[in-house]
Amino acid sequence: MTLTSDTFEWVATLVRARSAIQLGPGKEYLVESRLLPLARAAGMPGVDAYVSKIRNGRDTVGERAVVEALTTNETSWFRDNSPFIALRAHLLPELMAVRNRPVHLKFWSAACSTGQEPYSLAMTLLDVLPPTVTFEILATDLSEKVLDRARTGKYSQLEINRGLPAPLMVRHFTRVGAEWQVSADLRSRVTFRPHNLLDTPPPGRFDVIFLRNVLIYFDLPTKQQILRRMASVLSPEGSLMLGAAETTIGVDAGWDRVPVGAASVYRPSRAAPAGSPAVPSQSARPGAATGALAASSVSALGIRAGAVR
């Protein structure tokens, strides 16, 4: 370990200010291992020297590289699967049942990493929505590096193996050398844009927001602030999807957790506005998003229900 506590503190403060990611004591090894490749690429002998150069030179490009290197971009196709099944079997039929024609749906994959999440969403929508229903998917992340990768739509065999069903691979990807390329059609369905969750959300109202596996990196006030912002851009019938290990419970009492099939979605509470102080537990809204409405909508609207795979 070559990292001094001064270097660690400076990096932790920078990363917290720019992204809200918390690097508490014990994360020195993470900082060192993430920054060492950057230090080597810059021809520096170690992380301390690399950070000092950025720090003393007020190098904003270098600062950005440090922040991006400290993001964790772990993702996979149809991650956790149940949110995609819930979408297909319940949420989309419900949305289409309550909307005036022509139906246009808006989705936001916030903190989308290298694109597997929004492309999984696009594949699901293309599979289940009738052609009369149009949709747009906005996919955002703090990291320009992951967005560049997402836009190219090229994935290694190892990445493809992480959750992409073979029929969907055949339908939407072509092999280019050692990689798999997302089809131009699928790519055209997703707009990738930089966005920091600490900033004002993108304009408009979204019917479904995916905010998965990112709140875990933030402290409580940041989670509360972000959840309040999400509530402000969710359509009245909209749903927020969090990661399997994430919840609004104990964070912000302004949300109801609604069971939808094997998944849970979150909707602004009618009883308490978003931003209400957290309570230890929160009752789910029974009866919401039930299979009854979904089942009738499925047949009435010509949607193919069933598993994603």
Ligand X SMILES: C[S@@+](CC[C@H](N)C(=O)[O-])C[C@H]1O[C@@H](n2cnc3c(N)ncnc32)[C@H](O)[C@@H]1O
Judged by the rule CB under 6 A, the positions of this chain that interact with ligand X are: 19-21, 71-75, 79, 111-113, 117, 141-143, 146, 196-198, 212-214, 217, 243
| In the complex, minimum distance from the CB of residue 45 to ligand X, in angstroms, rounded to a whole number | 28
Catalytic (active-site) positions: 34, 141
Neighbouring residues of 303: CB distance < 8 A, sequence distance ≥ 6: 88, 92, 93, 96, 128, 129, 130, 297
Query: Of 91, 82, 134, 131, nearest to 297 (Cα)?
Result: 91
32 or 117: CB nearest ligand X: 117
| In the complex, minimum distance from the CB of residue 141 to ligand X, in angstroms, rounded to a whole number | 5
71 or 124: CB nearest ligand X: 71
Tokens of 189: 């369905």
21 or 263: CB nearest ligand X: 21
121 or 303: CB nearest ligand X: 121
Residues in the chain: 309
| In the complex, minimum distance from the CB of residue 147 to ligand X, in angstroms, rounded to a whole number | 9
Integer Cα distance of 110 and 142 in angstroms: 9
Neighbours of 239 (CB within 10 A): 27
Neighbouring residues of 156: CB distance < 8 A, sequence distance ≥ 6: 178, 179, 180
9 or 74: CB nearest ligand X: 74
| In the complex, minimum distance from the CB of residue 71 to ligand X, in angstroms, rounded to a whole number | 3
| In the complex, minimum distance from the CB of residue 270 to ligand X, in angstroms, rounded to a whole number | 28
Query: Of 276, 295, 242, 250, nearest to 97 (Cα)?
Result: 295
Q: What is the DSSP string of 243-301?
A: -TT--STTT-TTEEEEEETTEEEEEE-SSS-TTPPP-S-----TTTT-HHHHHHHHHHH
DSSP helix/strand/coil, 105? strand
Tokens of 161: 């193996």
